[in-house]
Amino acid sequence: MFPLSDENPTVRMPVMTYLLIGTILAVWVLLQGAGFDQTALAVSVCNLGMVPGELTGQATVGTSIPLGPGMACVVDDWALNIWTPVTSMFLHGSWGHLLGNLLFFWVFGNNIEDSMGRARFLVFYLLCGLIAAGAHVVVDPESPVPTVGASGAISGVLGAYLVLYPRVRVRMLFWFLLFIRIFRVPAWAVLLWWFFWQVVSGLPQLMPMRPEVSGGVAVWAHIGGFLAGVVLVRLFVDENLHRRRLAMDDARDTFLTA
């Protein structure tokens, strides 16, 4: 199932959401070669992706991780590694990875920005991304594998949406073989279902044997980011903007039921 849109119009143009999406797309095209230049993609992931073992010092310097035919990422101890929790938020590993993240951000991000204001939303987004990165490092501190993607920060946006707009209807595309339908589902059901599957995927990583069941996805970054969004959203909401939104919603509901 994929979200297509929500029934939650904004009061103001979501400028920061557009800027973040534009920045992520620009990085993908200009720095990562839009996925078509495998060398550029591998170099960006290796040099600017977050490697937990490099941050903690628990990965052996010189450890090699294959990234493709004739290419490998080698664990190093560069001083710039400390910035990779930020730089990795703007990188992606494939078109599917990129478009999946941006779809969720497009549907849910504008309303959170609308309730926080642009500057607060940017700080909230980056902070959730950093907390998500920290959760991944805590769970897998020795990992030599680079991690990239905006999903940790976007997970924070999803957590915030669950707190602020749980009853808003979301149009979800369901696709199974030839069966294609669009359903209107409450946001709380969509987001809790998504979170449930993150936890189901992530729990085996806490076991002593640590089986590889997450398919290469940093699910604990998703979990950490989501919980950060749930906890922090009230600290970042601009009450004046949020009251305007609620007043608009009440007026719209009154009009529709009159």
Give pLDDT tens digits for 18-61.
Answer: 999 999 999 999 999 999 999 999 999 999 999 999 999 999 99
Q: CA dihedral defined by 112, 117, 228, 132, rounded to 10 degrees?
A: 90
247 neighbors 120 (Cβ within 8 angstroms): no
Residue 257 — pLDDT band, cuts 50, 70, 90? very low
Residue where the block lists tokens 């009009």: 255
Give, for 156, the enclosing helix (H) or strand (E): helix 151-164
> Above 80 in pLDDT, residue 120?
yes
Largest pairwise CA distance in the chain: 69
Does residue 32 sit in helix, strand or coil? coil
What one-letter code names the amino acid at 20?
A: L
Q: pLDDT at position 212, please? A: 46
Per-residue pLDDT tens digits for 191-248? 999 999 999 888 877 665 554 444 467 899 999 999 999 999 999 998 888 777 777 6
CA distance 133 to 150: 10
The confidence score (pLDDT) of residue 178 equals 72
Domain interval for residue 149: 2-257
Closest CA to 75 of 48, 90, 53, 98: 53
Q: Which two tokens stand for residue 103?
A: 């779809």
Element (H, E) at 2: strand 2-6
Q: How far apart are CA 233 and CA 244, in angstroms?
A: 17
- Output 125 or 77, whichever has higher pLDDT: 125
CATH of the domain at 217: 1.20.1540.10
Say if residue 255's pLDDT is above 70: no
Number of residues in the chain: 258
pTM: 0.90
Distance CA 122, CA 20 (A): 9
Tell me the average pLDDT across 98-106: 96
CB of 136 within 8 A of CB of 221?
yes
Percent of the chain residues topping a pLDDT of 90: 71
Question: How many domains, the chain?
Answer: 1
Percent of the residues in the chain that have a pLDDT greater than 70, as a whole number: 91
* pLDDT value at 164 more than 60: yes
By C-alpha distance, which of 47, 147, 149 is closest to 99? Answer: 149
DSSP state of 173: E
CB 101 within 8 A of CB 154: yes
| pLDDT for res 214 | 42
How far is Cα 247 from Cα 234, in angstroms, rounded to an integer?
18
For 135, 169, 213, 229, the CA distances from 220, given in Å and listed in that order, are 6, 27, 12, 14
155, 229 contact by CB (below 8 A)? yes
pLDDT value for 153 = 97
CA-CA distance, 163 to 180, in Å (whole number)? 30
3-state secondary structure of 257: helix
